[in-house]
């Protein structure tokens, strides 16, 4: 039993009076124009469903199409995990898979340019940082290597080499972060540019259908809500919890 509109609801002065005119669905209650009683039924953290979460974080988007397309832009801040440090300050980066599943081009190289300054920290096999953070400056830009790897060269600014990271017990790989750049006076500026990549995605809306059944004994599961309407009248509306659960 549900109503197509809630403007004709009439609260009963007391509980126990079950009429069509004072029955309200959980869906109708949370969408009515009574903001002062909204929190009595709908908690401020949503209805504990993924739909409620998306609504609270403003991640809902209206659509009248059978397919939704959107593009996500890659980040401009450069960071890499799973980086190996070899001899002569050579770093080998294993490129992660693209988010959209496409393969890397054969000429794919790390977005590391000459003159950029980096922070380096060693990690263990679980990906947890276990070494001090050391700084370096790039002298040879990123270039494609074999397979999905790419290399660049960066001497350490705080030590003769990177043994302060590679020599720590438990070290397996390292992670790096580009945080700026440094050039000598009178030298040329940054070569090349850093352009954000993008990935295109598609999705489609889904129609969800379900139903619920009630028997005469289900009236014991009736819930009551005390409301005050806009004209100042107060009373009780009743609802069935099973309908609320079916909608979720």
Neighbours of 174 (CB within 10 A): 22
* Structural domain boundaries, residue 130: 73-201
Q: Is the pTM of this model over 0.85?
A: no
Terminal-to-terminal C-alpha distance of the chain: 18
200 has which bridge partners?
71
Residue 59 lies in a domain: no
248 and 213 in a single domain? The answer is: yes
11 and 98 in a single domain? The answer is: no
Tokens matching residue 81: 């995990």
How confident is the model over 24-42, as pLDDT tens digits?
Answer: 765 555 555 444 444 554 5
CATH, residue 159: 2.40.30
Number of domains in the chain: 2
163 and 222 in a single domain? The answer is: no
- Model confidence at 209, pLDDT cuts 50, 70, 90, reads confident
How confident is the model over 121-174, as pLDDT tens digits?
Answer: 999 999 899 999 999 999 999 998 888 899 999 999 999 999 999 999 999 999
Q: Which of 233, 242, 175 is nearest to 210 (CA)?
A: 242
In the chain the beta strands, taken as DSSP E runs, fall at 68-73, 79-85, 90-94, 116-123, 134-137, 140-144, 149-153, 173-181, 198-203, 222-228, 234-240
Question: If 0-12 CB within 10 Å is exposed, 13-18 middle and 19+ buried, where does residue 131 land?
Answer: buried
145 and 122 in a single domain? The answer is: yes
111 and 138 in a single domain? The answer is: yes
Residue 60 lies in a domain: no
120 has which bridge partners?
134, 176
247 and 173 in a single domain? The answer is: no
Tokens matching residue 47: 């209805």
Residue 56 lies in a domain: no
């Amino acid at each position: 039993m549900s109503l197509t509109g809630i403007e004709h609801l009439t609260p009963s002065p007391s509980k126990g009076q079950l009429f069509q005119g004072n029955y309200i669905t959980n869906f109708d209650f949370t969408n009515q124009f009574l903001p002062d009683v909204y929190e009595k039924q709908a908690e401020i953290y949503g209805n504990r469903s993924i739909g409620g979460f998306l609504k609270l974080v403003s991640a809902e988007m209206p659509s009248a199409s059978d397919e939704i397309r959107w593009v996500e832009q890659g980040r401009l801040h450069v960071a890499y995990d799973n980086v190996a440090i070899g001899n002569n300050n050579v770093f080998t980066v294993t490129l992660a898979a693209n988010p959209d599943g496409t393969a890397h081009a054969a000429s794919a190289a790390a977005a590391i340019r000459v003159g950029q300054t980096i922070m380096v920290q060693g990690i263990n096999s679980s990906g947890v940082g276990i070494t001090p953070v050391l700084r370096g400056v790039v002298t040879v830009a990123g270039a494609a290597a074999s397979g999905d790897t790419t290399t660049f060269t960066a001497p350490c600014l705080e030590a003769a080499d990177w043994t302060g990271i590679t020599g720590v017990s438990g070290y397996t790989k390292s992670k790096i972060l580009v945080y700026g750049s440094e050039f000598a006076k009178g030298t040329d500026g940054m070569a090349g540019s850093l352009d954000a990549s993008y990935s295109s995605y598609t999705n489609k809306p889904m129609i969800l259908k379900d139903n619920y059944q009630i028997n005469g004994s289900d009236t014991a599961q009736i819930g009551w809500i005390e409301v005050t309407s806009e004209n100042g009248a107060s009373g009780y509306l009743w609802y069935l919890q099973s309908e609320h659960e079916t909608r979720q």
